[in-house]
Amino acid sequence: MRLKSADTTVLSAMEYGRMYKYANMNLIYQRYSLEYFLDSTLRLGLQDIELWGGEPHLNVEDATPQEIGAIGKAIRDRGLNLVCFTPEQCAYPINLAAGRWESRRRSIEYFKKCIEVTGALDCPMLLVSAGYGLFSEPKEEAWKRAVESMQEVAREAEAAGITLVLEPFYYPYTNVLTDLATTKRMLAEVGSPCLKPMVDTACMVLTGDSLNDYAAAFGKDLVHVHFVDGNDTSSAHLAWGEGMFPLEEFQDCLKELGYEGHLTLELIGTQYLVEPEKAVQKSVDHLQV
């Protein structure tokens, strides 16, 4: 159901663009240095970043305190604001729902290290996903393991004062946390005040949910958004203007919700690796940031 609002003011696209806090993300800058990404963000006229933790920018498992300190200084020296730390977790061997105990233990310890890095970077939020189970086993078995793992990670985050933002993916990428309904269930079963919902527009559309659904379900508890263009047949995370998503509808929903978080331009695709700044600039221009 569409959210209703008494405010019927019509805003121009430029006014909409200025309403929101857009964050650049370094995922498509992985063929460039971290310093290049930070300087590119400034050239784009953006002040906020979401830091993807992966090679060659920041590998949590072998990063030294000195390296992490240098990254924090590089961000601060440029006057940039780190809004969320998103360590690599979408590929083997990180899986909070893994059936093999050693694999799951390693994944839990990985996220505990990520909490330490998040704190060291003076970042308020850490993105976490629930992992996946084998398709040849009952889904509830993987679900139970994911909940238990998430509870342990959440206890660590609570002690550190870090907010965990829970990102659902889509089937068949995962068979655990796949949509709005499973997100609500996971939040309820983990039962941690530090675990909050977020949404990725590409995965959301692919699973048949809507931004209005998320807004109605979570209200102000919705703390983070991966804001990309795309289509309803794939998980493509496209620059704005390259897909078919209803931008005006998304903007109306965010306005009615009174969303105060950041909108991260999480572009994904090998087509963007050579000229990442050009791809983000396309979104910035389209959104009239």
The CATH number given to whatever domain includes residue 223 is 3.20.20.150
User: Mean pLDDT, to the nearest integer, of 8-30?
Assistant: 76
Residue 17 within any structural domain of the chain: yes
Q: 239 is written with which tokens?
A: 């620059």
Residue 3 within any structural domain of the chain: no
What rounded mean pLDDT belongs to the chain? 94
Residue 212 within any structural domain of the chain: yes
The per-residue pLDDT for range 41-52, each reduced to its tens digit, is 999 999 999 999
Query: What is the predicted pLDDT for the residue at 239?
Result: 98
pTM of the model as a whole: 0.93
Residue 226 within any structural domain of the chain: yes
Cα torsion angle, 166, 266, 96, 204, sign: positive
CA distance 114 to 109: 9
- Which secondary-structure segment (H or E) carries 281? helix 276-287
Residue 8 within any structural domain of the chain: no
- For the chain, the domain total comes to 1
Name the residue among 90, 89, 49, 43 with its Cα closest to residue 71.
Answer: 49
pLDDT reading at 70 higher than 90: yes
Residue 18 within any structural domain of the chain: yes
CA distance 73 to 204: 35
Residue 82 within any structural domain of the chain: yes
- Domain housing 96: 13-287
Q: Any alpha helices (H) in 121-262, and if so which ranges? A: 139-160, 180-190, 201-206, 211-218, 247-257
The per-residue pLDDT for range 179-203, each reduced to its tens digit, is 999 999 999 999 999 999 999 999 9
CA distance 18 to 20: 6
Residue 89 within any structural domain of the chain: yes
The per-residue pLDDT for range 86-104, each reduced to its tens digit, is 999 997 899 999 999 999 9
